[in-house]
Amino acid sequence: MKLLEKERVVAPKAPTRRARAIVAPRVLERPAVVLRARAASRPSLRRNAALSDASGRLVVFAVIVGLTYVGSTLGGYVMLERARQTARHGIQRATFARAEAKQARASIEALTNPADLNAWARTHGFVPGQATDLHGSGLVAQR
């Protein structure tokens, strides 16, 4: 330790002729310099910062993956429901078309049935072509 001396001027309270300024040496001590030990937490702070950064990125990645999964699942369900409704409408149209075809076949059968045609012809005064002359006019299958 190094001692420093500093001169200090002390003036008397009442100046007199005989009094002189007294110089008293003043000794100052410098405080001892104590070096602090380095904090051991600095490397762990860096490690924690890197870990925090990595965990933040992991959370962002997980959120993006989760949103993508939920969105694609919802989209898949929507497409599946649309296909199901389309199939149901197709089945309804096919059922309606079968009923219409059945009705059309019944109408055609009624129009082409020979017994029904002969009955209609008789009610309207027609005679079959292979019949003999029933009225003696010489005309067959005419009115």
The residue ranges of every structural domain in the chain are 3-30+43-123
Q: Is 127 exposed, middle or buried (0-12, 13-18, 19+ CB in 10 A)?
A: middle
Q: How confident is the model at residue 83 (pLDDT cuts 50, 70, 90)?
A: very high
User: What gap in Å lies between CA 143 and CA 132, rounded to an integer?
Assistant: 14
Q: Which of 38-47, 81-90, 102-111 has the lowest mean pLDDT?
A: 38-47
